[in-house]
Amino acid sequence: MKFNPKARLDTSQMRRRGGQRTSTGSPLPGGMGGGGFPMPGGTGGGIGGIIVFILIAIVATQCTGVTSIPGLPGGDDEVSTAPDAASLEACQTGEDANNSQLCAILATVNAVQAFWTDALPEQTGQEYREAQMQEFTGGTTTECGQASSAMGPFYCPADEYVYLELGFFDAMLEGQLGAEGGTFAEAYVVAHEYGHHVQNILGDLSRAQSGGSGPESGSVRVELQADCYAGVWANSATTVVDENGEVFITELTQADIEQAIDAASAVGDDRIQERTQGQVNKESWTHGSADQRIRWFMTGYEKGLVSSCDTFSAATL
């Protein structure tokens, strides 16, 4: 994956700040995004202790739903020392994105939102509205509840922010979850979260709360659709332009797509259960299996259409 050195980045779409963002509302029932997660055996019980609990919590909450996890590192009592928004001033062009993880995330946010600004009204008749990303370290307060560094990336529909802790990629996605990682693996995660924003605009995000858990549940269908939307963006990623008509991404190879596939597989419910419990319990799935996540990402990538991502009508996921 290569960014166009001539592309101009819009830093207004991302915030990077320390401390905790002040909430003006109450947490959503069931946690962030309205999604809860039934822990196998209870909180940490029978699954190998607190590290395993954190690992499962991260994958379970990576997308629509995050629940407050009292007492974990990076929780309510910790204050971030992350640089403020001024640190983003170094991210001005695609060249910066080619040399900095933070700038690459910003460039991806710009490219994903530029795509949906055009594609959503063209394909669905609904206007797209931008969702800002906030990168945080330690802990932050959102309109959906409290977030900590023990949680992966997530989307909060109450304030329409995507929240991201950059350490997730090295420590969890590539570390404990065993993914290959890479720039496009990270882009897949970002595009997935913005897929939830698209669902929120279209009125489908709330379906995650129906049907409990399991391989055919509403929660799984919502997550697989967000994977599909990430694929829809990837299909057109090298054609999306900035305000000056310069493409954001000049090259996307098969190796890049394989990075995304590898990341999607690593965060499959079955893969997580195998790593943490040594066995698979389909009835507790909330995000979908590795095969399901790969299948729906590739469906979006190959078709490039929102209409190809109707996981709610699909007889087989």
Structure tokens at 139: 């802990």
Task: Evaluate if residue 172 carries a pLDDT over 50.
Answer: yes
Long-range contacts of 183-187 (CB under 8 A, 24+ apart): 183/1, 183/104, 183/256, 183/259, 184/1, 184/252, 184/256, 184/257, 184/259, 184/260, 185/259, 185/260, 185/262, 185/263, 186/101, 186/104, 186/105, 186/108, 187/1, 187/104, 187/108, 187/234, 187/260
Task: Evaluate if residue 57 carries a pLDDT over 60.
Answer: no
Q: What is the pLDDT of residue 18?
A: 57
Quick one: 68 exposed, middle or buried, by C-beta within 10 A (0-12, 13-18, 19+)? middle
Task: Evaluate if residue 268 carries a pLDDT over 70.
Answer: yes
Q: What is the pLDDT of residue 138?
A: 83
Q: What is the pLDDT of residue 17?
A: 64
Q: What is the pLDDT of residue 149?
A: 73
**Could you tell me the pLDDT band of residue 54, with boundaries at 50, 70 and 90?**
very low
Instruction: State mean pLDDT over 182-207.
Output: 96
Task: Evaluate if residue 50 carries a pLDDT over 70.
Answer: no
Task: Evaluate if residue 237 carries a pLDDT over 70.
Answer: yes
* Helix orientation angle between 50-61 and 269-277, rounded to the nearest 10 degrees: 180
Q: Strand, helix or coil at 17?
A: coil
Work out the mean pLDDT of the chain and round it to a whole number.
81
* Helix orientation angle between 218-236 and 254-266, rounded to the nearest 10 degrees: 170
User: Which segment of 26-35, 158-167, 226-235, 261-270 scores lowest on mean pLDDT?
Assistant: 26-35
pTM score > 0.85 for this model?
Answer: no
Highest-pLDDT range among 13-17, 23-27, 53-57, 130-134:
130-134
Sorted by where each begins, the domain ranges of the chain are: 2-309
Q: CA 192 to CA 179: how far, in whole Å?
A: 16
Phi, psi values for residue 89, rounded to 5°: -65, -20
Q: What is the pLDDT of residue 16?
A: 86
pLDDT tens sequence across 104-152: 999 999 999 999 999 999 999 999 999 999 999 888 899 999 888 777 8
> What's the half-sphere exposure (Cβ side, CA atoms, 13 Å) at 101?
12
